[in-house]
Structure 1
Amino acid sequence: MRSGKVGRRVHTHRPTRTFVSLTGPEGNIGDALIRRGTLEWALGTSDELVVYTGAGPDVWLRQLGVPDEAVVLRSKRSVPRWLWMLLTAPQHPVLVFEAGEVPLDRGNVLRELVFLAETVLVRLKRGVVVRPPRGIRAPTDPATWLHARAARLSQIALWRDAKSAALAGGSTIAPDIGFAARPAADAPNAARDELIVSLRGARPMPNVEWMQAIRRTAEAEHLRIRTVVQVREDEQRARELADALGGEFTPWGDTDAVAQEARLRAHYGRARLVVSDRMHVLVLAAIDGAAPAELVPAPTQKISEAFAAIGIRGISHDAATGDAEQLQQFLRAQLDRTSELRGHLTAARMRLAEIEHRMRETIRAARA
């Protein structure tokens, strides 16, 4: 997907350069979603765009819509060139970090030190540093301390939950950038005939009560059960769930990531209910008009906090705390929330558009 924003240039007397980090595995549609949102913010902010993709293959560039004229740096071997281009960049560069989770365990101290140095360098060049909505994972010191210093030096630093903001000493909570995506389909409820399940392969298989709740909900609502794969490593679990639930299984298989995303969103556009413990499965499902529900034993707060940040509460339930009837009641309640969800999703998209506009104004002001 090519963005129409490529042609929007910031007119200055001297050439300008924007750096954006877009790493991620091509086997994770959710990562592609938020990296694409990050790229949208970076496009059109400078004369030259420098993209670091890590080990991303060619299909990753197509997933994100990286423009052909961008300078693309791949693999860790290209990090010295990235740093050199940053060091030698003209005045007023823009540095855009990628949205998503930020691991701050003890193994990331050196990385955070480098990111702090990059931030200081851009500020010394009178440039602008942008940190799109992010969530902190596994915080430890000194990585968290370094990260907080870098965030405070950034003109735009956003957090997708209050806990992450507090850890970094920040105050601006914003919707996850994935909520900026537009619906791929807008089928009316009468045309929606699927209940979709997509669970992490690393978790244990759900128990009998969970299975009964899913089957009974599908029967009561006249829905077909389908399992799908949004992250490649979950494919075997999706196959097992389809067998256990008597549902249809849509594999990823040999399909490339671009086609797989389109196929997934077509299914979400036909679903009335999507059950998952993957945050961006539920984000895309909600955007495409399905009711999202997290129903697993001991759910983490990641999904509930991200949805609470846009005003949507109560979509997560601990499957270990009730019998099949209680779990079914939770799922039934989610099906009645589509109108409420639509309003919050529209407001989240508008909020993200306002933040992007403010970011672009900040860059223009820095170069005035």
Structure 2
Amino acid sequence: MTTHSLLLLPGDGIGPEIMASAVEVIGWFNKRAGKELFTTESDLVGGSCYDAHGVSITDETMQKALAADAVLFGAVGGEKWDNVGYEHRPEAGLLRLRKDLELFANLRPAICYPALAEASSLKKELVEGLDILILRELTGGVYFGEPKEIRDLGNGQKRGIDTQVYDTFEIERITRVAFDLARTRRNKVTSSEKRNVMKTGVLWREVVEQVHKADYPDVELEHMLADNCGMQLVRRPKQFDVIVCDNLFGDMLSDVAAMLTGSLGMLPSASLGAPDPVTGRRKALYEPVHGSAPDIAGTGRANPIAMIASVGMALRYSFGMIEEADLLEAAISKALDTGVRTGDIAPEGAETVGTEEMTRAILDALDSLDS
């Protein structure tokens, strides 16, 4: 087997704790293969990097990210860095990684494990068996459009400006990823925008329909305004398979979908670039969708499942190790079936475990399933 290089960027808050869990899982697969299937190198990002170097990510770390087969990212940010200059805030390190690696496609699955159906804020019958995938365009839109500034208008007045911009090629490439993924799932894509009030939404729908008609007529396509999509996610979430949307709406809708599963601590994500024309490999970054949770950092109570599941997404999307990815997902489900729970997914008054115990339960499940 080929040896794959992983750059580990634990970040801030609970990032180092959950990354330690990911390292244990990587070690399990290395041991199973009888060789170093994965090599790892760690570096700083976010607030920890700012404290050490005065920036949220260094040029040297960016070069390591560009050279690695995939990047595993923990979490960044916290109140400690609230007053840091905007260009050096912890989140700027993640934005630079996305930009320099050209990671335009963000995949955020929302899966409700059977054992956690009761943990959702929705009724059990609405979420049990839920398996949807939100595909968010990641490098365009209002987060990157120019001008982006606050102007002083005089007389005590200011004007904040954020610009929503999309070109045809940006919409086309994310749309193709959505249709390709749908073909591996239940063959349905829901395209979500706000064409009723936004010109970018008009263009978005136009391009999606062109791509669909030209190359993917076999895939079911529906259009849904983003506000209605948010409502439908809460009303009847299992109607969806793949949802594709722009940067802003994808950010919002994926967080809504995350809570259907019971906790942000459960969900991984993948950010992918375009295939290399020679090798076919995509630049990729994998991270849990939750934040740095500074309020519990250092207490050993963080839920490591989203970080571990991010390793599973790396196995699937970067390395084509489908059997191993399925095995890891099954181990997470098996561990949950035993009743082990971290605090964020435990019923009120139930006994809880910490990060290390949950990790051990998943490793034990891996041993059991692989025996």
TM-score relative to the length of structure 2: 0.31
Structure with the bigger RCO (C-alpha within 8 Å, sep 6+) is 2
TM-score relative to the length of structure 1: 0.31
More strand by share: 2
